[in-house]
Amino acid sequence: MNEPMSIGALARRTGMSVKTIRYYSEIGLVPESRRTRAGYRRYDAEALVRLELVRTLRELGLDIATIRAVLDRRADLPEVAAAHVEAIDAQVRMLRLRRAVLRRLADIGSKLTDQEVERMHRLAHASADERRRIVTEFLDHIFEGLDVDPSFEARFRSAMPELPDEPTDEQVDAWVELAELVGDPDFRARIRQMSEASWSSPDQRPETPADPQAAMRAVATISDRVDAARAAGVTPESPAASPIVEDAIAQFGAAFGPGDPLSKLESGTDARAERYWQLLAIINGWPPIPSRVPAMEWLIAALRARTESS
């Protein structure tokens, strides 16, 4: 489009009123490229793009002074177009967050209090720094006053949610769920209890496996075997559970050293704790973390039944 446009043609192209365009033109946001001998305004392609950018920025809530400052730094058509793209991208990211929060509100419904609704509203508008502060405050609460193994705390703190600039719907939903989870007092108390039970004093701290990858493979092998047993209808109290329990005890001993496997499993098994790491994996684009909790809960029940019968 190289032919100059009248203000009426520009209005038809953009869907904006002639009055609004004339106002933007008079205050210098969208100046005409020239005027006819009769004094009629004519606009070029750059004016069209500038006008669309002004509308987008206004819809994002920017005032006229701020929009003028933005446009003053955009010298030509490609730069103005790039600014338009950036503004739309920001709007899309904001809308994704708002949609995720509204979806969460719809799922929970009447169970939410006014304070929780306000908190969810803040989540929808949280910046990257604010999202990091939410998780940092959760971690500070967990570890405050605990004499824990520094390496354990460091590993926990190093795993921060980093929502990408172009998140998927799944990542946005995961962020909203994670923020809700870390704000739950019951969840905070449970994570603090788990940390204290396993890492609060030197004599309680489990030995670090010589081969962490081998330990992870051992847990996966045990979980897979238990899942197969569960699928076959084997109950924790049945005689058929005995060889699975024996194998699990042996593998736990080899991977994590001596100690009571039942107490270790009871202190370290929680569905919400596992969900925390699964949500982090979704947000950060890590490989999916499979659910091991159902298998571990079955194994806990089998170990308890074994203890009670002995």
Residue 15 and residue 69 in one domain? yes
Can you give the pTM of this predicted structure? 0.65
pLDDT: is 233 or 208 the higher one?
Answer: 233
| Of 200, 211, 310, 199, nearest in space to 257 by CA | 211
Q: What are 214-264's pLDDT values in tens digits?
A: 778 888 999 999 999 999 999 999 999 999 999 999 988 887 777 788 888
Residue 110 and residue 178 in one domain? yes
Quote the number of domains for the chain. 3
Residue 285 and residue 215 in one domain? yes
C-alpha dihedral sign at 8, 11, 15, 19 = negative
What range defines the domain where residue 213 resides?
A: 206-309
C-alpha 149/C-alpha 225 separation (Å) is 32
String of DSSP letters for 242-303 = HHHHHHHHHHHHHHH-SS-HHHHHHHH--HHHHHHHHHHHHHHTPPP----HHHHHHHHHHH
Kindly state whether residue 271 falls inside one of the protein's structural domains.
yes
Binned at pLDDT 50, 70 and 90, residue 147 comes out as: confident
C-alpha 5/C-alpha 25 separation (Å) is 14
pLDDT computed for residue 75 by the predictor: 45
Please say which residue of 131, 165, 195 terminates a domain: 195
Kindly state whether residue 255 falls inside one of the protein's structural domains.
yes
Report H helices in the chain: 7-14, 18-26, 45-59, 64-72, 77-108, 114-124, 128-143, 150-158, 169-182, 185-199, 212-231, 242-256, 261-268, 271-284, 293-309
Q: What are 3-27's pLDDT values in tens digits?
A: 788 989 889 988 899 999 999 998 9
Please say which residue of 135, 168, 195 terminates a domain: 195
Question: 69: domain CATH number?
Answer: 1.10.1660.10
C-alpha 164/C-alpha 156 separation (Å) is 20
What is the crossing angle of helices 114-124 and 77-108, to 10°?
Answer: 160
Residue 234 and residue 271 in one domain? yes
Kindly state whether residue 85 falls inside one of the protein's structural domains.
no
Kindly state whether residue 186 falls inside one of the protein's structural domains.
yes
Please say which residue of 146, 169, 195 terminates a domain: 195
